[in-house]
C-alpha cells in the first residue's frame, strides 16, 4: 500500500550512540510556509517554524523529489537530535516529498475557490433536501458517505485553505490510493473553529468538474 512507505512517527524511542554523541531520530511532516530570497520556512506538524537556506534544503532532498520546493508542498523531514556529547543539537538527515499518485496535496487557488462553492452548494443541499436529490444534483460524488451530512452541515465553506501539516498527518492513513481518479485535499473550519479535511474529485469532462468526495473524520 502506498501509505505504508512513509513513516509519520513524531519520534522514535531508540537512543543510539553516534561516535561520542547520543541521538534520537525523528520524522516530521512539514509544509513549505514560504520560499523567497534564498530562504525556506518549514512549518512542522508540531513546534516552531524551521528556517533553512534553499541550497541546504535541496542538498537533503531524495533523488525523486523536484529540485526547487514550492510553497504549500508537503515533505517528510528526517531529523537527528543529539542528546549528549559535543555534537550540534539538531541535524537534518533527509527530506522526501509526500506524494500519492493523482492526488494533489497542494491545490491551486482556482481549485480552492471552486471548492468553496462546491461545499456551499453541498451544505445547502444536505440541509434543505433529502439524500437522493443531492447526489442527483452532481454536487456530491456518488461514493460520498451520506452519514457525514451532519459534519457537512457544520462547516464554513469560505474558510477553505491548505491543510496544516498537523491536520494532514492526522488523516494520512485514511487517504485511499486511487490511481485512475484525480483528486485534491484541502481543509475548512467548522463552527467550533476546528480543521476538517475534505477530499474532492476532479473531472475532466461534464458540467460539474469538481465534486465533494470525502470528509475525513480523524481531526
- In this prediction, residue 181 carries a pLDDT of 85
- In this prediction, residue 206 carries a pLDDT of 55
- In this prediction, residue 76 carries a pLDDT of 92
Contact 26, 47 (CB under 8 A): no
Contact 103, 115 (CB under 8 A): no
Give the residue range(s) of CATH 2.40.50.140 domains in the chain: 2-97
Whole-model pTM: value is 0.80
What's the rounded Cα separation, in Å, for the pair 124 and 134?
9
- In this prediction, residue 4 carries a pLDDT of 29
- In this prediction, residue 208 carries a pLDDT of 60
Residue ranges for the chain with pLDDT beneath 50: 1-18
Of 23, 94, 34, give the one whose Cα is nearest residue 64: 94
Contact 179, 138 (CB under 8 A): no
The structural architecture, per CATH, of the domain 2-97 is Beta Barrel (2.40)
> Which residues are bridge partners to 81 per DSSP?
24, 90
Contact 151, 144 (CB under 8 A): no
Amino acid at each position: 500500500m502506498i501509505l505504508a512507505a512513509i513513516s509519520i512517527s513524531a519520534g522514535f524511542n531508540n537512543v543510539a550512540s553516534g561516535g561520542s554523541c547520543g541521538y534520537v531520530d525523528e520524522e516530521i511532516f512539514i509544509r513549505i510556509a514560504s520560499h523567497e530570497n534564498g530562504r525556506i520556512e518549514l512549518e512542522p506538524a508540531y513546534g516552531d517554524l524551521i528556517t533553512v537556506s534553499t541550497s541546504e534544503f535541496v542538498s537533503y532532498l531524495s533523488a525523486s523529489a523536484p529540485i526547487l520546493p514550492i510553497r504549500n508542498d508537503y515533505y517528510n523531514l528526517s531529523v537527528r537530535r543529539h542528546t549528549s556529547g559535543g555534537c550540534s543539537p539538531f541535524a537534518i538527515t533527509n527530506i522526501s516529498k509526500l506524494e500519492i499518485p493523482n492526488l494533489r496535496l497542494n491545490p491551486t487557488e482556482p481549485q480552492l475557490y471552486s471548492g468553496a462553492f462546491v461545499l456551499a452548494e453541498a451544505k445547502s443541499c444536505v440541509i434543505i433536501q433529502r439524500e437522493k436529490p443531492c447526489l442527483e444534483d452532481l454536487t456530491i460524488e456518488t461514493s460520498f458517505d451520506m452519514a457525514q451530512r451532519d459534519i457537512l452541515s457544520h462547516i464554513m465553506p469560505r474558510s477553505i485553505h491548505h491543510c496544516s501539516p498537523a491536520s494532514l498527518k492526522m488523516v494520512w492513513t485514511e487517504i485511499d490510493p486511487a490511481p485512475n481518479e484525480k483528486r485534491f485535499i484541502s481543509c475548512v473550519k467548522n463552527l467550533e473553529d476546528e480543521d476538517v479535511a475534505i477530499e474532492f474529485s476532479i473531472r475532466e469532462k461534464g458540467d460539474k468538474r469538481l465534486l465533494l468526495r470525502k470528509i475525513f473524520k480523524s481531526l
